[in-house]
Structure 1
Amino acid sequence: MANEDGRTVLLLSDNVWNAHREHIMRVAPGIDPLVYEGDEPFPDEVLDTVDIAFFSSDCWPERTRGIILSIMNAKNLKWLQTFSAGVDSPFFVQLMERGVTLTNSSGATASPIAQTAILYMLALSRDMRTWMRNQDERKWQQHKIDELDGASLAVIGMGPIGMEIARIGVAMNMKVEAVRRAAKGDEPCPTFPMSDLHAVLGRADWVASALPLTPDTRQVFDAAAFAAMRTGARFINVGRGELVDEDALVAALRSGHLAGAGLDVFATEPLPEDSPL
């Protein structure tokens, strides 16, 4: 994977290069960096030399357009490393169809994303919005809170993120069940197949989704799934936005059937200003 002069051209962001330059050159001294500094794509004649590209999180979302166009226009690109775990977007699919080797960061962000799911659960159980509003209005006012200790949690999807959510839930003394395609025996809680999804949803006070997006999981959380959940349950999604029928979720929230939702991802991002979510 090198040019005629024996060196490999790596396309990467200025932030990554500035932070990790010494380490990159130490482990890969044959690298020639092509540093992405602005927000517009490189000229085609420059991109023709690129062998490897790193799509890093600092380019998301403000500089996404420029870096993606640069990567797509790199006709001789052989390998793309992306910061994301999911690689289902048309951008990645087109590159793989061209024969580009694609590697993701699955597992690398399991801990912080799982912590985000737990953050949503803590915030909703303590009604943090009321606390913050009372603080802004300088009110001293008690309000109802719910305990996570002893509450039931269904973790849907047991990749690295789901496993970490389940592990933390068990440590918090929650009654945790999980759903995945097939139990592997390494789960920290009772685990059921996807065919039992609605039954598991019906037993949970909290539902945390960490599924990947596939043809089988697209909008798996539809009106029927939300109807299967307990009245007053809360829904957390740190998987993919397209897992959820957002109209059905809004309807379940507005009707009062669901007591709340914590969403880290959406079908359309950035979330439109007129979205009810």
Structure 2
Amino acid sequence: MKILFCGEGFPEARRQLATLLPDDELLAFPPDKLGPHIAEADVVVPTVNRVDEELIRKGTFGLIQQFGVGLESVDIGAATKNGVMVARIPSEESGNAASVAEHAILFMLMLSRNWNRLSRAREENRPLPWGSPEGQALLGKKVCIVGLGGIGRELARRLAGFGVRITTVDDHPGRTVPDIEIARQYSLAEIPAALAEANYVVLSLNYTPDRFHLIDTAAIAAMKSGVYLINVARGGLIDPDALLAALKSGHVAGAGLDVFWEEPVDMSHPIFSENVIATPHTAGVTDVSYEGIARAFAENMKRYAAGEKPLYLANAPDRLRKARPGQTVMR
């Protein structure tokens, strides 16, 4: 099969897949160069690029398979209408959730221990008084995890050892984490009350269009002064203008951002002059997650080539697009 990546990023993904799928052809082109190659593809991999109805109609591929979880760049409705299956790799199945959870804790610790202030002093060759600046311990603090999916559950498991009080906001009533004490669970409708008591707010919620700017001026105002805000989910969840204003005023003491309102993000944006620790959407980019995602991805390619239904589908077309010559017709 020909597996087309919509972008030239993720080289390590393709390297691992080449080993696992030696009989398949892996192609990668920038979005503006996809046109001449889309008709040849059997499977399309969106990565972080848009797969809209126009692109879907140009091809004859029957599967859009993400290398990871996020499908916000895929027009799933158009894919379903055109008989194209869409699949992802769940974060807990691959080790991705554990990697992202670790990254969220990294943000929490760096913000708590004034990493930016220490780094700037070092870069400017400016000494700080011995024992300064004073840090904040996680012990005894309140952490609100917004989204108790794979990442949220892995985060709760890891935070339990820090002696924090965990609360959660989730859209699945009653979803919990076995053997982990959660002080209180809130629904999404109760998010202002949940935010009000937290020293740290961590976003690990699936992004959907109705959650655009879930964390806006009103939500930030509901948070206690001096809160730390961490986003390892999707950039669209936070209104960057509201966050910038809150950072400038000190209402939000600092932010850890792995995802942004646009990607790649312009690092000259004024928000990065505030107490923000930023990483380029790499929370899940680890040896463990890449190996796990690649194995699950390769298994789905083998299932699809054999005419079997791929795992982890996000849609269910009534009629499937006709298979390409040489492929087994889907059964």
Same fold (TM over 0.5): yes
Answering whether residue 3 of structure 2 is matched by residue 10 of structure 1, we say yes
Q: Structure 2 matches for 1:28-47, cutoff 5 A?
A: 31-36=23-28, 41=33, 44=36, 47=38
Q: Structure 2 matches for 1:100-179, cutoff 5 A?
A: 100-107=84-91, 108=94, 109-136=96-123, 137=125, 139-141=127-129, 142-179=132-169
Q: CA deviation at 1:135?
A: 2.8
Residues 46-83 of structure 1 show CA distances to partners (whole Å, capped at 9, x for unaligned) of: 54232223345xxx6xxx68x99x97575111112112
What letter corresponds to residue 253 of structure 1 in structure 2? Answer: L
Answering whether residue 50 of structure 2 is matched by residue 50 of structure 1, we say no
Name structure 2 gaps, 5 residues minimum. 272-331
**Higher RCO structure (Cα 8 Å, ≥6 apart):** 2
Answering whether residue 201 of structure 2 is matched by residue 210 of structure 1, we say no
What letter corresponds to residue 49 of structure 1 in structure 2? Answer: E
Contact 1:114 1:165 in 2 (8 A): yes
What letter corresponds to residue 120 of structure 1 in structure 2? Answer: F
Residues 90-111 of structure 1 show CA distances to partners (whole Å, capped at 9, x for unaligned) of: 5555444433211112313111
In the alignment, what sits opposite 1:182? 172
TM-score normalised per structure 2: 0.68
**1:83–1:221 Cα change, 3 Å:** same
Moved more, 198-207 or 93-102: 93-102
Question: Residues of 2 paired with 1:151 and 1:176: CA distance?
Answer: 9
Aligned counterpart in structure 2 of residue 234 of structure 1, from 210, 224, 228: 228
% identity of equivalent residues:
29
**1:186–1:84 Cα change, 3 Å:** same
Moved more, 264-273 or 233-242: 264-273
**1:105–1:248 Cα change, 3 Å:** same
Q: CA deviation at 1:176?
A: 0.6
**1:275–1:143 Cα change, 3 Å:** same
TM-score normalised per structure 1: 0.81
Residues 205-225 of structure 1 show CA distances to partners (whole Å, capped at 9, x for unaligned) of: 000011112243221111111
Q: CA deviation at 1:228?
A: 0.7
**1:222–1:93 Cα change, 3 Å:** same
Question: Residues of 1 paired with 2:221 and 2:134: CA distance?
Answer: 25
Question: Residues of 1 paired with 2:228 and 2:44: CA distance?
Answer: 40
**1:22–1:182 Cα change, 3 Å:** closer
Query: Secondary structure at the residue paired with 2:64?
Result: strand
In the alignment, what sits opposite 1:23? 20
Question: Residues of 1 paired with 2:239 and 2:139: CA distance?
Answer: 30
Name structure 1 gaps, 5 residues minimum. 1-7, 26-30
**1:21–1:262 Cα change, 3 Å:** closer
Query: Secondary structure at the residue paired with 1:153?
Result: strand
In the alignment, what sits opposite 2:307? none
Residues 225-275 of structure 1 show CA distances to partners (whole Å, capped at 9, x for unaligned) of: 111111111111111111111111111111111111111111112222442
Question: Residues of 2 paired with 1:261 and 1:99: CA distance?
Answer: 42
Question: Residues of 2 paired with 1:276 and 1:261: CA distance?
Answer: 13
**1:138–1:179 Cα change, 3 Å:** same
Answering whether residue 239 of structure 2 is matched by residue 245 of structure 1, we say yes
In the alignment, what sits opposite 1:192? 186
RMSD, matched Cα: 2.9
Question: Residues of 2 paired with 1:43 and 1:271: CA distance?
Answer: 26
**1:257–1:15 Cα change, 3 Å:** closer
What letter corresponds to residue 173 of structure 2 in structure 1? Answer: A
**1:140–1:260 Cα change, 3 Å:** closer
